[in-house]
């Protein structure tokens, strides 16, 4: 796990809310506080969709793409939100490729997920990474690979951050 203070908040917010950078990620939780607090539980409600509609049948959580514009509508305005929090998980269908390409020695079947937590307190935007395992392992190669991948992704988008 790494914790980073985002130095260019506007740039990261554009990547999250305007661009499709995180569209394939799963949203497990979102909270935005403006004049009131808006909360999103990212669990999919399959009953909402008709036959043959909606997200992939294997998805448990909504993809960021489906809620991004709604969250942007809540945040959009002249005033900065008082706070927000987003918990995003790396696309599960890409996990195996990520592990192989990163050189991690952790087996795909024991990785529950790779996440990015974003927390804005009205002044600072913090990003923390996380890895969730289905079982205990002393092997930290997956965690290190995920931390490195997130840092590289931020750099590739020109987003400055400092390690805490």
Q: Which of 60, 5, 58 minimizes the C-alpha distance to 27?
A: 60
Residue 48's pLDDT is what?
83
Q: How far apart are CA 161 and CA 164, in angstroms?
A: 9
Residue indicated by tokens 């995920």: 146
Instruction: Supply the pLDDT for residue 59.
Output: 80
Please say if the pLDDT value at position 129 is more than 90: yes
**Tell me: the pLDDT tens digits for 65-100?**
999 999 999 998 888 899 999 999 999 999 999 999
Strand partners, 113: 132
Rounded Cα distance, 127 and 60, in Å: 23
User: In Å, what is the CA distance from 16 to each residue of 114, 121, 131, 151?
Assistant: 17, 17, 20, 16
Looking at per-residue pLDDT, the higher value among 155 and 58 belongs to 155
pLDDT in tens, 109-126: 999 999 999 999 999 999
pLDDT of residue 101: 92
Pull the structure tokens for residue 136: 């205990």
Q: Cα(117)–Cα(130) distance, rounded to whole angstroms?
A: 8
Mean pLDDT of 102-108: 90
Per-chain mean pLDDT for the chain = 92
Residue 29 has pLDDT above 90, yes or no: yes
Please enumerate in sequence order all residues whose Cβ is within 8 A of that of 55, keeping only pairs 6 or more positions apart, or say none: 44, 49, 62, 63, 66
Total Cβ atoms within 10 A of residue 25: 23
Domains in the chain, number: 1
In this prediction, residue 150 has a pLDDT band, given cuts at 50, 70 and 90, of very high
What DSSP state is assigned to residue 81? P
| pLDDT at residue 50, rounded to an integer | 72
Question: Does an H or E element contain 97, and which?
Answer: helix 95-102
Q: What is the pLDDT of residue 57?
A: 65
- Phi/psi of residue 74, each to 5°? -70, -40
First to last CA, the chain: 11
Report pTM. 0.89
The domain in which residue 11 lies consists of 3-163
Q: What pLDDT is attached to residue 25?
A: 95
């Amino acid at each position: 796990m790494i914790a980073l203070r985002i130095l260019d908040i506007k740039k990261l917010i554009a990547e999250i809310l305007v661009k499709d950078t995180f569209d394939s990620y799963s949203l497990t939780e979102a909270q935005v506080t403006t004049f009131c607090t808006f909360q999103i539980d990212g669990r999919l409600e399959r009953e909402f969709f008709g036959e043959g509609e909606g997200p992939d049948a294997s998805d448990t959580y909504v993809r960021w793409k489906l809620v991004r514009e709604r969250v942007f509508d809540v945040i959009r305005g002249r005033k900065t939100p008082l706070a927000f929090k987003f918990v995003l998980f790396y696309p599960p269908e890409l996990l195996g490729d990520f592990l192989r390409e990163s050189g991690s020695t952790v087996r795909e079947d024991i990785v529950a997920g790779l996440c990015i937590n974003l927390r804005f307190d009205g002044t600072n935007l913090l990003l923390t990474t996380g890895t969730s395992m289905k079982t205990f392992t002393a092997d930290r190669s997956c965690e290190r690979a995920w931390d490195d991948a997130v840092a590289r992704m931020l750099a590739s988008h020109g987003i400055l951050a400092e390690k805490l």
